[in-house]
Amino acid sequence: MTKNILLLAGDGIGPEVVAEAVRVLKWVGAHAGTSFHFDEALIGGSAYDAVGTPFPAETLSKAKAADAILLGAVGGPKWESLDYSVRPERGLLGIRKELDLFANLRPAMCFAPLADASSLKPEIISGLDIMIVRELTGDIYFGQPRGVTMENSHRVGRNTMVYADWEVQRIARIALDLARVRGKKLCSVDKANVLEATEMWREEVQKIRDAEYTDIELSHMYVDNAAMQLVRAPKQFDVMVTGNIFGDILSDCAAMLTGSLGMLPSASLGSETGGKRAALYEPVHGSAPDITGRGIANPVATILSAAMMLRYSFNLHAQAKLVEDAINAVLADGLRTGDIMQAGARHVGTKEMGDAILAKLDTLSSTQRGAA
């Protein structure tokens, strides 16, 4: 079985962290009887520098042909002066839109060895395991009308929050399916008291639950309260589902509960067609231009994104769990990159962290074979 993976390393530390995830994927392929074929393409600032656009046609063609996509990061100060239409982020938004990657899965897990790394008390976040499901192709980022115009001699900026019922229904089903295999509990986040678009959101989520998922406990929460509750008592949540802009904000809030954005992966999934589902996997963190090329970036979020790829695109659930266990074991051994550094821990760089995870995969794999 050969699976085609497209690598979009992107900008900044993207190439560095993607390289470590590829090493892990190659290890899995060698031990799981699966052959991974890797192709590469440009996106973001690096694509603009090479061909004048952040989202080349060749990249889209390769993305459509791939079984899964692994992306590093896009953007940086170098390109901030460009016209909005060709900034690196337009490449990321473009691939999400073209592949209809409407469901963004952002887990926020606290590995036990990092319970002290969070800004919250360990007892508040120890054992944290939340899945935030963010709708990714609608809302204020894509709604029309938009832009800046002159009106009555004043500049007016306008963006529009728009959702259709079918968009809400399909993301609700993704979230409810996830809740069904987790804790059977879903919290839908909106601002239904002041935004009609999200009042409709609430109604449609409730309809889907009542018609198809009566085994799932569904609650609704306003986004401002949800932000407060994530900090006050995050373990009250299991699966959360929300729109594009609210999900963008809440998932970064949840990420910091775990100690660092460098620990948080994500998956962006499309609809299943002909037995194939478009899927892009990427770390939540940005391109970190201040540390680019120094070999000190944390590759764990990208490696965890690869683990999500194993689980959601290739049904290699045991292998995904093995990668997660290897990371937990390395952290338990006291290895830390700078972003999660703690007193008494051993500071390591990007490649050293990758080396340690690969070594732990060897150890855990040997232990499992011996037990069998």
191 is catalytic: yes
Give helix 300-312 / helix 317-332 axis angle, nearest 10°.
Answer: 160
Cross-strand partners of 217: 185
252 is catalytic: yes
Q: Which of 141, 177, 207, 355 is catalytic?
A: 141
CA 273 to chain centre: 22
224 is catalytic: yes
Please classify residue 170 by burial: count the beta carbons closer than 10 Å to its beta carbon, then call 0-12 exposed, 13-18 middle and 19+ buried: middle
Q: Which of 100, 177, 238, 252 is catalytic?
A: 252
Rounded distance between C-alpha atoms, residue 206 and residue 172, angstroms: 9
- Under 8 Å between Cβ of 235 and 257: no
360 is catalytic: no
Q: Which of 116, 210, 224, 362 is catalytic?
A: 224
333 is catalytic: no
Per-residue burial over 314-349, b if 16 or more Cβ lie within 10 Å, else e, is: bebeebbebbbebbbbbbeeebbbebbeeeebeebb
Rounded distance between C-alpha atoms, residue 45 and residue 303, angstroms: 23
Q: Which of 139, 191, 213, 281 is catalytic?
A: 191
- Under 8 Å between Cβ of 24 and 358: yes
Residue with tokens 């791939």: 66
φ and ψ of 260, to 5 deg: -165, 145
Rounded distance between C-alpha atoms, residue 176 and residue 167, angstroms: 14
Reference 6, options 96, 86, 67; nearest CA is: 67
Q: Which of 49, 129, 238, 248 is catalytic?
A: 248
User: Which residues carry out catalysis?
Assistant: 141, 191, 224, 248, 252
